Structure 1
Amino acid sequence: MANLETSLKEAMTIEGAIGVALVDYGSGMALGTLGDGGEIDLNVAAAANTDLVRAKMRAMEMLNLHDDGIEDILVTLTGQYHLIRPLTTSSGRGLFLYLALNRSRSNLAMARHQLKRIESTLEV
């Protein structure tokens, strides 16, 4: 099992990574962030993406999709990918990993795979 700092550092090794955050979607607060800060303010992104996660959770509830879980939420921009992965472990309930990627330097399929692996080893 990896601690938060190790997991964030590992996420930043994903090809094209701009920044990463572990976010509490109850409060919208980032519990940890890592990135250069030049392209994106990770604390603002954490708060803004909290609204997105909450809206998707409400939509799933309204659609009675109780047996399904969100693997990840993807926002594609012309120059970036924003990947949101709610944690599924019991200690990670109410948290999500947020990863911003430079679209031209990343492989989305590999990034999703690596973020899933990081989530599975993250000890919160």
Structure 2
Amino acid sequence: MPGIEECLLKAMALPGARGAAVADCTSGLALGTIGDSPNDDHEASVAETAELARVAADQPTFAPAEDGDAAHGRSNPVEDVIVTTRSGYHLLRFVETTFDSSVFIHVWLDREEGNLALARIGLAGLAERLVLG
């Protein structure tokens, strides 16, 4: 099972990946970063994406409680958040853990070279196997 560094390296192997981060949604701090940052400042990018992740996860419209969530250890029913821009895609994938986790993976893809569907599938697999600790 990959740790944070291996997870980031595998995220960068996704077609069109320009940068990636593993971050804590609650604190807005990076647990690890790799590659480029959309605004040339990884810390600022992580803080901004953490704010977006928090908003999506906290809104009942986007994350209504589902009966099976608590039974299956899912504290956050939102799986991922996708933002498209003229030049790229930003994919935020929440990491499910046995404890109350607020960790997510952010991958920034070049729009010309990236494949959003493939990246979403790959990132879901990385999030499932990521070992924190």
Give the TM-score of the pair, scaled to structure 1: 0.90
CA distance in 1, matches of 2:31, 2:63: 30
CA contact (8 A) 1:18 1:39 kept: no
- Percent identity between matched residues is 34
Gaps of 5+ in 1: none
CA deviations on 1:43-83 (whole Å, 9 max, x unpaired) are 211100111111112212x6771117111100000001000
CA distance in 2, matches of 1:29, 1:63: 23
Amino acid of the structure 2 residue aligned with 1:23: A
Structure 2 equivalent of residue 59 of structure 1 = 59
Matches within 5 A, 1:1-124: 1-37=1-37, 40-60=40-60, 65-67=64-66, 69-90=77-98, 93-124=101-132
CA deviations on 1:79-105 (whole Å, 9 max, x unpaired) are 010000111122581101011000110
* Number of residue pairs matched by the alignment: 123
Answer 1 or 2: which has greater helix percent. Answer: 1
Amino acid of the structure 1 residue aligned with 2:84: T
C-alpha RMSD of matched pairs (Å): 2.0
CA distance in 2, matches of 1:118, 1:82: 16
Give the TM-score of the pair, scaled to structure 2: 0.84
